Amino acid sequence: MNDQPAHLVTRDGLRDGSLLAAARLGAPPGTVFQSDEAIQADLDAALAAHAPGADVWLFGYGSLMWNPALEFAEHRSASVRGWHRRFCLWLHMGRGTPENPGLMLALERGGSCHGALFRIPAARARDELLLAWRRELFTGAYRSRWITAETDAGPIRAATFVVNRDHHRYAGRLPDHLIAQRLATAAGTLGSCASYLDQTIGSLHRLGRRDRSMERLQALLQAHT
């Protein structure tokens, strides 16, 4: 399998709109995208619930961990309770195709999740967060929300993105063997689902964390290859 991505998620591509423009052009027929105005309105509503003039923390649990594509002042390990990462969103582009769909991680209710926190200075918060909002909300499969992240220095209020269970791509709670089958074969313009899993696990290890459910999937996936 060729795992060299045809398109990279970059800060410049998110700023100038070229990444989302390419996604719209290459999307399967019938794909619905959120408008730029709707994405900005969602971000403005989130920031309206944040203390004025305060830095903003963003929690990442998937590709944001190894490719945040935004500028930040601080990066640290964190955990959240009441949410866990799970492959629960079907992918028909990016890391899958309509003929061979992949799966993407999202936060689901219950359990806990290790990940990375990024601190964005207040003066640049809206501009930088808009890049993350464009990246995560443009199909409507995720919803933004504030969560409490636990760190060695204490709890931190952070923004993140959780699954939208009302979205047509929501896959629900699939059995691990089916998830592994999809991850083993699905790929697209952003690379393969197998690489996405490996990079997630590698990022956690670099933070000094583990996710045993992801490691179980990795072992199952290796049995398919």
∠ Cα 86 110 57 (to 5°): 75
What is the C-alpha to C-alpha distance for residues 26 and 18, in angstroms, rounded to an integer? 12
What is the C-alpha to C-alpha distance for residues 10 and 42, in angstroms, rounded to an integer? 22
Share of the chain above pLDDT 70, in %: 96
Residue type, 84: H
Q: What backbone phi and psi angles, to 5 degrees, belong to 7? A: -130, 135
Average pLDDT, the chain: 94
* Domain range summary for the chain, segments of one domain joined by +: 11-93+103-170
The torsion defined by the Cα of 172, 190, 137 and 43, in degrees rounded to 10, comes to: 140
User: Is the per-residue pLDDT at 29 higher than 90?
Assistant: no
- The CATH code for residues 11-93+103-170 is 3.10.490.10
Indicate the DSSP class of residue 169.
T
Residue with tokens 């009302």: 166
Pick the range with the lowest mean pLDDT from 66-70, 161-165, 188-192, 220-224. 220-224
User: Is the per-residue pLDDT at 225 higher than 80?
Assistant: no
195 contacts 8 by C-beta, under 8 angstroms: no
What's residue 6's pLDDT?
A: 52
Residue with tokens 């791509």: 169
User: Which of the four pLDDT bands, split at 50, 70 and 90, describes residue 8?
Assistant: confident
Share of the chain above pLDDT 90, in %: 88
**Residues labelled catalytic:** 136
List, for residues 61-85, the tens digit of each pLDDT value: 999 999 999 999 999 999 999 999 9
